[in-house]
Structure 1
Amino acid sequence: MPLPESTRAEVVNYALADLPGDLAWHVSYFDFIGDADLRGRIGQEFYAARCLYKLWEGLRIDEQWARQAQVQLQVQQYASIYEASVHHLLFVEAANEPIVQRLNEYRTLVERPLPGHIMDRIRRLDAGDANDIVGAVMATRRAQESKIRFDSKVAAAVELGMLDEALGEEVKGFYTARNYIHIHAEIRQTDFDWQVSFARDAYRRLEPFKSQVSSWLAMRA
C-alpha cells in the first residue's frame, strides 16, 4: 500500500531539494560522452544515485544492515558510471591508439600438428598421457571487449594520460568494491569495511574524473 500522496510528495521534494539540477542537468554533466544514448543512460544513473542517496539520508536508519545496503547500492551505481565512461573513452575516442588495440589481444597456446615421425616418438614414451600430447605454438588472439578486465582498461587510460595515476587507483577501487557486493564474495572478503564515506568518495571523484577526461579530449581536438 503506497504512502499518502501528501507524504510521497514531501519525500520526493526532500530528495530533489538540494540537487544541482533536474534529469537533463545530470545528463548534460557527461558532455564528454559523445554517444547521446549512452550519455543519457549514464546521466539517468547519476540522477538516480543522487536521489536515492538523499532518500537514505532522510531515513537515517542507524543500523549496520542499512548502512551497508546504502553503500552497496551507491557503489554499484557509481562503478557502473565509471565503467561505461572509461569503456567509451577508450574504445571510441581512443580506439586507434596502440595501447587500446593491445587490450583486445592476448597470448595463448594454439594446437599445431607435429611431423608424423616426431609424434611416433612421443607415442612411444613411457608415460601414461603420451597419447594426449599434442603440438602447440604461442599465438596472438583477440578478445571480446566485454571480456577485458576493468583494471586493464583503467591502466590504459592512465597510460594515455586520460586519468592521473591516483584517480585511476581510486576508480579501480570502486569497481573492485562492486564485485564484493555478491554475498559469497562479501563473506570471503572479511576485511572490507562498508563505510558511507566510501560511497561519498565515489560521488566526489566524479568531478576530477570529468575534469581530467575533458582536458584530455580537449588536447586531442
Structure 2
Amino acid sequence: MAFDEHVTQNVLNYITAHLPPDSWFDEFFSFVDDLDLKKILIEEFKGIRYLYKIFEGLEADDFLLRVQIKTQITCYASIYEAVIHHLLFVTFKDSDLVKDLYKYPTKKAFSIPQAHMSKLEQYLEHDGKTIIPMYDAVGRTSITQIKFEAKANCAHQLGLISEKLKDELIQIYHCRNAIHLHAEMKKDLTYDELDLSKIAYRRMQLFREQILNSINLTV
C-alpha cells in the first residue's frame, strides 16, 4: 500500500532538499554525446541519490545498511562501466589502444603435408599423447567479452583517468561482482565494514573532472 499523500510529500521534500536540481545532473554528463545513454546515466545517478537519502532518513543499520551499501556499489559500478565503455568504443574507437582490446594471444594448429608427417610422427608424441604442431597467433574477441579491468586499464593508458582512480574503479567493480548471496557466503564479505560504497559516490566528481580535462586536452 502506498504512503498517504502527506507522508509521500514529506519524504520527497526531505530528499530533494539535499539534492541538486535536474539541470545539475544534465550538466554532470555533458561529455556523453549519446542522448539515450545520457538519459539512462542521469536517471541511474539521480535514482541512487534518492535511495541513499531514503536510507539515510531511516538511519539504516544491520541488514538495511547492507542493502544500502550493496545497492550503491552496484549502481555506481554500472555508471562507471557505462561511461568508460562509451568513451572507449565510441569516442576513442579509432585508437590503437582500444582496437587492441579485441585481441588476445592464442595458438593455432597448422597442417603439415602427409609426406612430411610420416617422418615427423615419431617426434610428435610425448607420454602417450600426440603433439599437435601449432604457432603463436592473435585471436579476436567480441566487445561483450572484454573485461572491465581491461577497459579501465585502457582508459588510464588513454589518459582519461589516473592510475589511482583506475585501481579504485576496478576494486569497486570486483566488489559489485561479488554481490551475490552465494558469493557472499563463500567470500565472507562484511559489508557493514566496507567503505567502498562511500568511495564509489565520492569518486564520481573526480571521475568526471579527469575525463573532461582529458577530452579538452585532446580537442
Output the TM-score relative to the length of structure 1: 0.89
Shift, 1:97, TM fit: 1.5
1:2 maps to 2:8: no
Q: Which amino acid aligns with 1:106?
A: Y
Corresponding residue for residue 30 of structure 1: 29
CA distance in 2, matches of 1:56, 1:125: 65
Alpha-carbon RMSD: 2.1
What are the within-5 Å matches in structure 2 for residues 25-64 of structure 1?
Answer: 25-63=24-62
In structure 2, the residue matched to 1:147 is 145
State the AA in 2 paired with 1:189. Answer: K
Q: Does 1:220 align with 2:218?
A: yes
TM-superposition CA deviations, 1:135-183 (whole Å, max 9, x none): 3322212211111111111111111111111111111111111011012
Give the Cα–Cα distance (whole angstroms) in 1 for the partners of residues 190 and 212 of structure 2: 32
> Helix, strand or coil for the counterpart of 1:206?
helix
Quick check: 2:106–2:136 contact (8 Å CA) kept in 1?
yes
What letter matches 1:26 in structure 2? F
Note the residue ranges of structure 2 that are not aligned, 5 or more in a row. none
Pairing of 1:48-127 with structure 2 (within 5 A): 48-63=47-62, 65-120=63-118, 121-122=120-121, 125=125
Letter in 1 for 2:21: G
Which of the numbers 194, 206, 209 marks the counterpart of 2:207? 209
Which secondary structure does the structure 2 equivalent of 1:201 belong to?
helix
One-letter amino acid of the counterpart of residue 3, structure 1: F
Looking at structure 1, the residues matched to 186 and 126 of structure 2 have their Cα atoms a distance apart, in angstroms, of 44
- Sequence identity, in percent? 34
CA offsets per residue over residues 35-92 of structure 1, 9 Å max, x none?
Answer: 11111111110000100000111111321x2111110000000000000111111111
